[in-house]
Chains A and B, each alone.
Chain A
Amino acid sequence: MSDSVAVVATHAVPAHHEELGFWRTYVFSTDHKMIGRQFLFLGFFMLVLGGLMAMMIRWELAWPETAVPGLRWLPEPYAYEGIIPPQTYNMLFTIHATLMIFFVVMPIMVGCFGNFLIPLMIGARDMAFPTLNMLSFWVGLLAGLVMLAGFFVPGGHAAAGWTAYAPLSAKAAYTGVNWGQNLWIISLLILGVSSLMGSINYITTIVNMRAPGMSYFRMPLIIWSLFITAVLLLLALPVLTAALAMLLFDRALGTSFFLPEGGGEPLLWQHLFWFFGHPEVYVLVLPAMGVTSDILSTFSRKPVFGYHAMAFSMIAIAFLSWIVWGHHMFVSGMNPLMGTAFMMSTMVIAIPSAIKTFNWLGTLWRGSIRFTSPMLFALGFVSNFLIGGLSGIFMASTPVDIFIHDTYYIVAHFHYVVAGIIFALFASVYYWFPKMFGRMMNEPLAKIHFVLTYIFFNATFFPMHILGVGGHMRRIYNPTQYDFLHPLQPINVFITVSALLLGLSQITFVTNFFWSLFGGKKAERNPWKANTLEWAAPSPPPHGNFDALPVVYRGPYEYSSPEVEDDYLPQNRPLITQSSAPRTH
């Protein structure tokens, strides 16, 4: 649908462009932009599913063992007259987390924006391996289908949490789930292949295909973040793959890697899982940080404050992310001395995160700030990341973690960080929608979307800190079963009402997105007057992206430069003499 717009809007057709049929254009496309869009729609679909599951979880916590409205159609044993039983509840939070992490944030932030932006922002015509890129999407989609199939097998879907702690996950008898858990494992194994193909492609493309003049330190920070993310994925995924294979062997072949009665070790799973899992957190958040840096700079009309500090702090985060995994295991029975070591490394990783936050503030300082919808969402990301970063210090401290581990304090913390990525995600969609689809989104509706999302996001997740401080455990089905949690129940109700409103607020986004896709104002090449190379290409860019491959003369953030009258200076604009007036678009 969007490329029909592309054909009309494109005047300059690159020399090697050839007409492709429907299947090669929309389905089995090797064009990085179409693959990016495919990842976007996959992510959106899963976001809706994951969001609906969150609503069901919240309903259960606020009004335990009452019928969820509109859920009476669900067959037994998934629900009884709309009432969710504990087994379904466990299934819901397991799959909610799995979808949000592996099938929403990764496909959208890494799959969609990585694919769409890398060639455009480094000045390449496509990815290094277009066919591998296409395979990466289709393998990813297959993983998604296998994951969803888990709902339709006897015994239901995996119910051991997204962390799948063994032995609970290693033996069907412990959860009563047989094929659901197997499919969960198989799906993530397949998804690992997809991510691996993607990351090889990203790394190769960034290393080899940068336009003339695009040195590493002229790359936009979003490209830096995607580059580092790809390296993290490449190194972390094999560990998850190995761990998942061992878990599958334990379940299907009785190997007992993680089962003590057969000589196995349950904590081995946790070590392997978190050795992957902690870098994974940064896989999710680094692209969000990159996007935020770019958008704050564009709309402050000011260079990113401390570009090198920003790039190096991301590299530091990437290195340190390999040696902090044990902070998930302070109360697991691991040697307390290891707890001390992991606390130290965890405290150290807070430093580069602090540096990033202060540099974002520095970018705003003495800027000329325009409150567009991408800017508002980027600011929202900073404000949420601040809370999520600071709350992390509590659990980094081993003695404090004894109390707050496995409580809602943890749930609050990682939602501020990981669910907070949704702000960077929306910022990216509002910012690059004109480039992706050739049309502008509706700005007033986008601002309403921001205000509602910001208010209800905080109303949902902030009170979870209070629950956690009160000792409210994670993953419990019915808080009213515990006497000491009774005084906290009104907070649970408040959170649920806020979460439902947060969900409803997203209607503004869905409406805006689909309406703008067909009826939005036609976008010019550079609607935000930004510097990076993607804005030099037509909106949307045709196959091959650029009329002529750009040459890069400077860094990506030359806003309000004294060299030109305009408050922006694109990376590809030559400045030879004073008389060569800036080109107008």
Chain B
Amino acid sequence: MMSWLPENVSTFGGEIDSLFYLIYYITGAVFILVTVLMILFLVLYRHREGRRATYSHGNTALEITWTVIPAVILLVLSFMSVSSWGRIKAHAPPADFQVQVTAKQFNWEIVYPGPDGKFGTADDFQIDNDLHVPVNKVVHVHLKSKDVIHSFFLPNLRLKQDAVPGRDILVWFEATKPGKYELPCAELCGFGHSGMRGWLYVDTPEESAKWVKENWPQQ
């Protein structure tokens, strides 16, 4: 199943993937254990003439065992998840690059601050569905929506965040590999939901400089 995960190109994606693997191995082991026992019992204890079922109402020691073991496993998983979650969500590292993404039926409206580095000034650069960011830089995305709830989904960066009208939500990522990645909307947003898609371009410093020069208003 692992090989189906899209290639990860974000700094925190590896952490998410290893949690995924860990849960996959644990649940896989439990699945095999329970299934093998079930098949074994079904074969061993199938009805045969002359054999009577064991009259038993249960076993307290067993009940405690199979309550405590899952509880401990789930507790460990919880604490591992909490620390990961905190690193990803609680504190965004300082931004190297900022961009505003405003979702609308059915496009991503992307605003760059322009040469002065400030939003809301005359040199802002706006374009639909093309998100250019530099590689190996912390990117802050100010996520908004003009109409309904959309979801900003970057499968290759293991990033998903709903864009909620009336709110300005900060998301961050740091892409580790240059390339062109898809940016679909992951929350039903109307009849054009399917196909609402942008592109994330992770640029090398040279590509980035070239793109800025060609597109941004000059100072």
Contact = CB atoms under 8 A, between A and B. Distances in A.
A466 interface: yes
Given A365-B45, A399-B19, A471-B155, A344 B78 contact: yes
A465 B24 CA distance: 12
Q: How large is the interface on A (under 10, 10 to 19, 20 to 34, 35 or more residues)?
A: 35 or more
B184 A482 contact: yes
B19 A368 contact: no
A476 interface: yes
A284 B183 CA distance: 36
A473 B4 contact: no
A351 B52 contact: no
A49 to B, nearest CB: 22
B85 A339 contact: yes
Contact of B52 (A176, A261, A399, A567): A567
B1 interface: yes
B155 A484 contact: yes
Interface stretch (B95-103, B108-116, B126-134, B164-172): B164-172
Interface string B148-173: 11010101101111101111010000
B63 interface: yes
Contact of A475 (B5, B20, B160, B188): B188
Contacts of A371: 46-47
A531 B146 CA distance: 62
B122 interface: no
B31 A386 contact: yes
B79 to A, nearest CB: 10
B75 interface: yes
A306 B63 contact: yes
A169 to B, nearest CB: 9
Contact of A406 (B56, B169, B186): B186
B191 A87 contact: yes
Contacts of B90: 336
Contacts of B70: 350-351, 354-355
A204 to B, nearest CB: 30
Q: Is the interface of B mostly helix, strand, loop or mixed?
A: mixed
A159 B191 contact: yes
A406 B188 CA distance: 9
Interface in B51-95: 51-59, 62-63, 66-67, 70-71, 74-75, 77-78, 81-82, 84-86, 88-90
A11 interface: no
Contacts of B167: 260, 333
Interface in A111-146: none
Contact of B190 (A168, A260, A400): A168
A331 B6 contact: no
Nearest to B12: A399
A506 interface: no
Contacts, number: 279
B159 A483 contact: no
Contacts of A394: 20, 23-24, 27
B193 A475 contact: yes
B212 to A, nearest CB: 26
B105 interface: yes
A399 B151 contact: no
A379 B45 CA distance: 14
A383, A474, A476, A482 interface centre (most CB from chain B within 10 Å): A476
A400 B45 contact: no
A308 B169 CA distance: 47
Interface centre among A365, A371, A406 (most CB of B within 10 A): A365
Contact of B34 (A331, A361, A391): A361
B164 A340 contact: no
Contacts of B20: 394, 400, 403
A370 B48 CA distance: 9
A364 B38 CA distance: 8
Given A306-B58, A397-B19, 7 more contacts: A159-B191, A176-B190, A300-B45, A309-B63, A332-B162, A344-B78, A386-B31
Q: 9 tightest A-B contacts by CB?
A: A260-B166, A477-B194, A471-B155, A306-B58, A366-B54, A336-B89, A390-B27, A476-B194, A368-B53
Interface of A: 85-87, 89-90, 159-161, 165, 167-168, 174-176, 260-261, 264-267, 300-309, 331-333, 336, 339-340, 343-344, 347-348, 350-351, 354-355, 357-359, 361-362, 364-371, 379, 382-383, 386-387, 390-391, 393-394, 397-400, 402-403, 405-407, 465-466, 469-471, 473-478, 481-484, 488, 557, 559-562, 567
7 contacts: A175-B191, A264-B166, A350-B70, A358-B62, A371-B47, A399-B16, A406-B153
